[in-house]
């Protein structure tokens, strides 16, 4: 493990049935962690990943008593539990996103009462002032740009309040907290359909579908001009570890994102090149769009850690596309394979 805890210390990861949480469980396990407790409210059969030898608990952490059970005996707690998804989800289900505040409120109190040494909170780039994101040619957002506060409704406000909890628990009670503002995390083992997926996964799925059905077309949300930076999952989990175990960053929100800005239309082109196709494009201007532009200013994380996410978008998309293609084909066997008796 690159963390400061020993392999005998108990690490608790909430939201472990989800994309980032499940990847973080695997990350710590592969680095020698032998006491890991993975917690999620979903039935284990629905978890995105399951790592053998890891303790699993199915608990709804919006309930205080479940939080106390989850953190009992823990040295470190990583809170990635949240009801969330891509823009299509967080714009349509703001109440569900706001109710995530119950999870962090109860979990950080339970962690503090249990004597936990370090507590990580997964924040989001959605905390940033929306007035700074009205142009696709956006100036990269630095940590101070979250104030004066005008985050995205619902999800953004919940994350900003969670950050404040982490700062106050350090100031008043001495709990070492860590906060990472994540920028559009993507990669294998993530949501790729059903409404919770983010743009890279959604576009990969649409291109796979167009190839498999030979439709020759793709529907794109918005007009294709919106810009974002996208962070590959391996960089994300490594960054969580580094931020959490840097004492100079205690209770200090830090951008955790790639600074490689791309327009949605260019993102589609990158996936087309991976698939070896060129598709006719239809633009759905009624679909949720989010802000016009958002990018991560990595000046601070490079200064503090001498590190920043480094996986190129091309490399990350290629791995993501191959994984989604495999999931798609498992769900929709191709006619030639079925006719040949291949399963």
- Looking at the chain, how many residues does it have? 343
Q: Token pair of 63, please?
A: 């309930």
- Helix ranges, the chain (H): 19-30, 64-71, 87-90, 94-98, 101-113, 155-173, 199-213, 233-244, 264-275, 299-305, 313-331, 335-339
Find all residues with CB under 8 Å of 286, minimum gap 6, and list them: none
Q: Do residues 249 and 170 lie in contact, with contact meaning Cβ atoms separated by under 8 Å? A: no
Query: 153: exposed, middle or buried (C-beta count within 10 Å: 0-12, 13-18, 19+)?
Result: middle
Residue 24 contacts residue 237 (beta carbons within 8 Å): yes
Residue 54 DSSP one-character state: -
Is there a catalytic annotation at residue 155?
A: yes
Active-site residue identified among 27, 78, 128, 155 = 155
Give the catalytic positions in this structure: 155
């Amino acid at each position: 493990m690159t963390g400061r805890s020993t392999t005998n210390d108990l690490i608790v990861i909430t939201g472990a049935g989800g994309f980032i949480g499940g990847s973080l469980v695997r990350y710590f396990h592969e680095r020698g962690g032998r006491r890991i407790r993975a917690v999620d409210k979903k039935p284990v059969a629905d978890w995105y990943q399951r790592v053998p030898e890891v303790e699993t608990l199915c608990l709804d952490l919006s309930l205080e008593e479940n939080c106390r059970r989850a953190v009992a005996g823990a040295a470190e707690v990583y809170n990635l539990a949240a009801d969330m998804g891509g823009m299509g989800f967080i714009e349509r289900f703001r109440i569900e996103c706001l109710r995530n505040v119950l999870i962090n409120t109860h979990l950080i109190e339970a962690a503090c009462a249990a004597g936990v040494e370090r507590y990580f909170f997964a924040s989001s780039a959605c905390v940033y002032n929306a007035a700074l994101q009205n142009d696709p040619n956006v100036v990269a957002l630095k940590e101070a740009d979250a104030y004066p506060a005008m985050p995205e409704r619902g999800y953004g406000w919940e994350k900003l309040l969670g950050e404040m909890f982490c700062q106050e628990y350090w100031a008043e009670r001495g709990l070492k907290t860590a906060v990472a503002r994540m920028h559009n995390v993507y990669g294998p083992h993530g949501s790729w359909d059903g409404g919770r997926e983010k743009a890279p996964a959604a576009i990969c799925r649409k291109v796979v579908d167009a190839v498999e059905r030979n439709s020759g077309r793709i529907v794109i949300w918005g007009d294709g001009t919106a810009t974002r930076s996208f962070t590959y999952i391996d960089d994300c989990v490594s960054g969580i570890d580094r931020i959490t175990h840097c004492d100079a960053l205690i209770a200090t929100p830090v951008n955790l994102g790639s600074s490689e800005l791309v327009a949605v239309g260019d993102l589609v082109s990158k996936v087309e090149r991976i698939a070896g196709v060129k598709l006719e494009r239809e633009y759905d201007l009624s679909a949720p769009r989010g802000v016009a532009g958002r990018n991560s200013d990595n000046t601070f994380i490079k200064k503090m850690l001498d590190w920043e996410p480094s996986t190129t978008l091309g490399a990350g998309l290629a791995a993501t596309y191959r994984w989604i293609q495999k999931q798609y084909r498992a769900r929709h066997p191709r006619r030639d394979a079925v006719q040949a008796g291949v399963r």
